[in-house]
Amino acid sequence: MRWSSGDRSNIEDARGRGGFGIGGGAVSLGLGGFVLLALLSWATGTNFLSLLSPSTGDTSTSAGRSAPVNSTPAEEHEVDFVDAVMKDVQSTWAALLPRYQQTRVVLFRDGIDSACGMAESATGPFYCPQDGRVYLDLGFFQELSNRFGAPGEFARAYVIAHEVGHHIQRLTGIERQVRAAQQNDPSSVNPLSVRLELQADCFAGVWGHAASQPGRAAKGAVELETGDVEGGLRAAAAIGDDRLQRQSTGRVMPDRFTHGTSAQRVEWFRRGLTAGNPDACDTFGNGATR
C-alpha cells in the first residue's frame, strides 16, 4: 500500500489510559494472550475471556485522563497508518453516502471504557453504535499476521474498513433494523449477525475497490499495490467462524456462527472489491448467505 501520514485527526489516542487486570490482579495476561482471545471472540461471538477469572481490580483508570504514551517509532508508524486508512475510507464513503458523518478510531491498550461498556483487548476491534466510534488495540495487527497468517498492510486496512462498515450500517438505519428484528425473534440473533458482518465485509471491499484505482497516491490518497488484494482476502479467510472454531475447539458449530464462514467472508469482501458499489452488498436478500 502507498499512503501518506496525516495530522491524526481521525484518531483518539487513549493508549495512555490505564488498563485492567484479570483475577483481581493475581494473574497478568500478556498482550499476546489478550489479542489471541480478541481474534477468537471477535470472529466467533464467543466470550473466551469468560474462561478466566473475572476481574475484581479497579477498572476506573481505563476511563480516566490519558497519561503520556510510552511508545516506539514502529508503533507510531502504525498510528499514522490507521489515521491514513481512516481518512481514506471516510473520504470514500463521504462521496458515496449523502450526509455521511465522520467517526474516529479510539486507540487503547488492555482496556477501555466505551459508551458500550468496559472492553478489554480480548474484545478485539469493535464498533460502538452508542458513541459512533471504532475501538482498536494495535496489538491485534501483530496477531493477525503472526498467528493467523494474514500479514500486510491491506489485511490490517481491511479490519479497519470492516468496522467503518458497521458505522455505515448505523448511519443508514440497517443496524437499528437488525437489532429490532433480533429482539422480536431471539432465534434470529446469530443468523442476522452473520448477515450484518458479511455486509460490513462487503462494505470494506467497496473501499478497497476505490483504493485500487491508479494515480491516487499522487493526490495524497491511499493506493493499493500489487499483492495487496490477496492480503485482504487472506485476512477475510483467516477469521471465518469455521476456521477459528476448528482451531480453538477442533470442531465446527454452525449454529454458533456470528460472522460467517471463511468462504462467505471472502465472497462478500470480493463482491465489494469487484463492484465498488454498496448496492452489491445486500446480504439480507433471500439466500444471500447460502
pLDDT for residue 123: 77
pLDDT for residue 207: 97
DSSP letter assigned to residue 65: P
pLDDT digits (tens, 9 = 90+) for 240-287: 887 778 877 888 888 888 899 999 999 999 999 999 999 999 999 876
145 within domain boundaries: yes
19 within domain boundaries: yes
The pTM score is 0.82
| Confidence band of 55 (pLDDT split at 50, 70, 90) | very low
**Dist CA 70 CA 50 (whole Å):** 29
Q: Is the pLDDT at 58 greater than 70, yes or no? A: no
18 within domain boundaries: yes
**Dist CA 101 CA 156 (whole Å):** 23
For residue 266, which of 204, 201, 176, 180 has the smallest C-alpha distance?
201
Q: How many angstroms from the chain centroid is the CA of residue 220?
A: 24
5 within domain boundaries: no
For residue 261, which of 240, 246, 247, 288 has the smallest C-alpha distance?
240
pLDDT digits (tens, 9 = 90+) for 78-105: 999 999 999 999 999 999 999 999 999 9
133 within domain boundaries: yes
Q: How many helices (H) and strands (E) does the chain have?
A: 9, 6
146 within domain boundaries: yes
For residue 192, which of 170, 171, 216, 175 has the smallest C-alpha distance?
175
pLDDT for residue 45: 58
Here the cell at position 14 is 487513549
Task: Check: CB of residue 201 under 8 Å from CB of residue 265.
Answer: yes
Do the strands 117-120 and 111-114 form a parallel or antiparallel pair, or are they unpaired? antiparallel
Q: Poorest-confidence range of 6-10, 102-106, 114-118, 148-152?
A: 148-152
**Dist CA 202 CA 34 (whole Å):** 28
pLDDT digits (tens, 9 = 90+) for 235-247: 888 878 877 788 7
**Dist CA 108 CA 66 (whole Å):** 10
CATH number of the structural domain spanning residue 231: 3.40.390
For residue 36, which of 127, 125, 134, 144 has the smallest C-alpha distance?
144
pLDDT digits (tens, 9 = 90+) for 189-237: 999 999 999 999 999 999 999 999 999 999 999 999 998 998 888 888 8
164 within domain boundaries: yes
The domain total for the chain is 1
Contacts for 248 with CB less than 8 Å, ≥ 6 apart: 40, 44, 48
155 within domain boundaries: yes
| Domain with 227 in it | 11-280
Here the cell at position 7 is 495530522
Residue with more model confidence, 114 or 35: 114
pLDDT for residue 44: 60
Q: Which residue is it, cell 450484518?
A: 196
Greatest extent of the chain over all pairs of C-alpha atoms, in Å: 54
Q: Is the pLDDT at 34 greater than 60, yes or no? A: no
Amino acid letter, 227: G
